[in-house]
Structure 1
Amino acid sequence: METVVINLFMKNIFIGLLFFAGIYSFAQEAGKAGELLRNEASTTEMQSAKSNKGLDTRNNNSNNSGFRNPNNQNNRGRNPNYQWNQNYGYAEVFLRIPEMGYFTVELGDQAISNNSGKYRFFDLQSGRVPISIYDNGFLIYRTTLQLQNNNRLVLDFFTNNGLYLLDSYPVQSESYGFNDWNDVWNNPYGNLSGNWNNFGNVMDNNTFRQFFLMFDKEPFDDGKIAMINQQMSNSQFTSEQIRDLVKSINFDKNKIMLAKSMYKRCVDKNRYFLVSDAFDYESSKRELREFIAK
């Protein structure tokens, strides 16, 4: 009887370890994806708290208020001459903080405070825009983003690791290219949960067939790659589509270059193993696997 109890106890421990190992293996680790943006906030700035948990930023000299109009710095007055038709450009920024806590994010002259971990900014001015992140009123990170007109930057912030630029997407006809809000952040990690068929800028099968017919008529790799690069500026692809395109390239060195460059435009990165079928040599398949694993 005692032996049975011990065996049952050990079995429960083993199952528990497998469960936690599974959770860890699917976690989106800080630094696993994206480009780290350096923290430009000084130690002195990070030791000063903002008033009202960051909701009132006008009286703090280290915030971004007045960014769009420097004359409004620390001025709570109202301007009756509203410039409704002034064009500052249009850009979007989606920032996620996957941690429990109350954060305030200032981006240009906009600010969002919540504990949901999702911060979505619209109608942003293109160009260099400062971003500041506060934890319960204390500045913890500041850097500058380079925003492009009609583009959306997607970022993840980790308190202990920093701010990571995951990707940039064109904004077209208010089509966001995902079903679930989380997908815009999950996709760079290869954890897309939605259905890629509903992505606004992914080629449907009919359009892809038309494109492939024109693409396949190009006799040389340079011409084919040029066509793909042009199409990648406003389209995304599935793994199967990328496989077919790469397979039509003549030389393996060009195939591997194309497969690497198209990875960032793939909507189902978890199926990118299909692209390996396009290569003739095992060394090229291995090189692609190593590239994806980085």
Structure 2
Amino acid sequence: MKNIFIGLMFLTGIHSFAQEAGKVGELLKNEASKNEMETSVSKTRGSRNSNNSGFRNPNNSGSKIKNPNYQWNQNYGYSEVFLRIPEQGYFNIELGDQMISNNSGKFRFFDLPSGRIPISIYDNGYLLYRTTLNVRNNSRMVLDFFTDQGLFLLDSYPVRNQSYGFNNWNDVWNNPYGNQENNWNNSGNYVNVMDHNTFDQFLEMLQKNARFDDSRLAMINQQAHSVMFTSQQITILVKEMSFDKNKLSLAKSMYFKCADKSRYFLVYDAFDFESSKRELMDFIAKS
């Protein structure tokens, strides 16, 4: 009986820490119509349609141009999109003017221009999903797709100097689920970021043991010596302050302990007065 009980507890523990479809991330709306999804499209291995030739201007891909006007250093911006499909199958992903087909379930797109980029997901020639991604310059967008759940935006990380900044490809997708304690900083390197479960424990201790702003600031600053925080976590901590001047003081100091500074605009929501928001904006602009 004891062995059965231990076995059940073990299985329960494994399930509680497993990644689940739809558990994290922002669900992106499927814009494909029912008619499109029921019509097979030729998306077989090695095939490409006329709008995905690999050239930025497909109309010129098949003709020889005399005296071409080369443009060597056009700045389209640089962005990356990483998409994972943790299911068996041979999928085709079209993202802008790029297309990747494989059965590994991992699709990594580089050298993307910033802006709104359409994405389409096919399985065995049938369109499963279509939507538009709003890709920022110098960023890596990370997504998960589940055929019965949809496309989820897990997070967007800053990318500097087109550097990878990680050792294991799987960590890119696993981190948003809280399975890893590492995350990104603005230089593209690993830093020690407080995971979601630890942050919840820290917040509970803060609310229980620090009743006034002074003690809250001291407790947060002490913790910040050994760990980094996300913009969302910092927003929650700033909201714990009772007075706007203390909120502003904390928001300024925590900016240097933020792992995803590109999302620091979330912290503005923690303030009650527009003047405090503007002062924080000015501070960040000069930092």
**TM-score for both structures, normalised by structure 1:** 0.59
User: What does residue 167 of structure 2 align with?
Assistant: 179
Query: Which of 92, 116, 137 is residue 149 of structure 1 equivalent to?
Result: 137
Which SS does the other structure have where 2:94 is aligned?
A: strand
Which SS does the other structure have where 1:51 is aligned?
A: coil
Instruction: Give me the whole-angstrom Cα distance separating, in 2, the residues matched to 1:186 and 1:156.
Output: 10
- Structure 1 pair 17–78 and aligned structure 2 pair: CA distance change class (3 A): farther
- The residue identity in structure 2 corresponding to 1:22 is G
Identity between Structure 1 and Structure 2 (%): 60
- Structure 1 pair 23–174 and aligned structure 2 pair: CA distance change class (3 A): same
User: What does residue 228 of structure 2 align with?
Assistant: 238
User: What does residue 25 of structure 1 align with?
Assistant: 16
Structure 2: gaps spanning 5 or more residues: 194-212, 218-226, 261-287
- Structure 1 pair 83–12 and aligned structure 2 pair: CA distance change class (3 A): farther
Query: Which of 90, 95, 107 is residue 102 of structure 1 equivalent to?
Result: 90
Instruction: Give me the whole-angstrom Cα distance separating, in 2, the residues matched to 1:84 and 1:56.
Output: 29
Please say if 1:200 is aligned against 2:185: no
Contact 2:184 2:190 in 1 (8 A): no
User: What does residue 189 of structure 1 align with?
Assistant: 177
User: What does residue 52 of structure 2 align with?
Assistant: 65
Which SS does the other structure have where 2:176 is aligned?
A: helix
User: What does residue 282 of structure 1 align with?
Assistant: none
Contact 2:116 2:135 in 1 (8 A): yes
Contact 1:100 1:115 in 2 (8 A): yes
Contact 2:93 2:101 in 1 (8 A): yes
Which SS does the other structure have where 1:164 is aligned?
A: strand
Q: Shift of the alpha carbon at 1:52?
A: 5.0
- The residue identity in structure 1 corresponding to 2:62 is G
- The residue identity in structure 1 corresponding to 2:100 is I
Contact 1:54 1:136 in 2 (8 A): no
Structure 1: gaps spanning 5 or more residues: 1-6, 205-219, 225-236, 268-294
- Structure 1 pair 45–250 and aligned structure 2 pair: CA distance change class (3 A): closer
Q: Shift of the alpha carbon at 1:202?
A: 3.8
Please say if 1:77 is aligned against 2:65: no
1:66-116: CA deviation from partner (whole Å, max 9, x where unpaired): 7975x626x861455464433222111011111111111110010111111
User: What does residue 34 of structure 1 align with?
Assistant: 25
Instruction: Give me the whole-angstrom Cα distance separating, in 2, the residues matched to 1:55 and 1:136.
Output: 13
**TM-score for both structures, normalised by structure 2:** 0.61
Q: Shift of the alpha carbon at 1:151?
A: 1.2
- Structure 1 pair 13–104 and aligned structure 2 pair: CA distance change class (3 A): farther
1:262-290: CA deviation from partner (whole Å, max 9, x where unpaired): 9xx669xxxxxxxxxxxxxxxxxxxxxxx
Contact 2:182 2:191 in 1 (8 A): no
CA RMSD, 1 decimal: 4.1
Instruction: Give me the whole-angstrom Cα distance separating, in 1, the residues matched to 2:86 and 2:98.
Output: 21
Q: Shift of the alpha carbon at 1:12?
A: 6.3
User: What does residue 199 of structure 2 align with?
Assistant: none
User: What does residue 80 of structure 2 align with?
Assistant: 92
Which SS does the other structure have where 2:14 is aligned?
A: helix
Instruction: Give me the whole-angstrom Cα distance separating, in 2, the residues matched to 1:132 and 1:24.
Output: 31
Which SS does the other structure have where 1:65 is aligned?
A: coil
Contact 1:178 1:194 in 2 (8 A): no
Contact 2:55 2:61 in 1 (8 A): no
Contact 1:179 1:195 in 2 (8 A): no
Q: Shift of the alpha carbon at 1:20?
A: 3.5
Instruction: Give me the whole-angstrom Cα distance separating, in 2, the residues matched to 1:34 and 1:252.
Output: 32
Contact 1:95 1:120 in 2 (8 A): yes
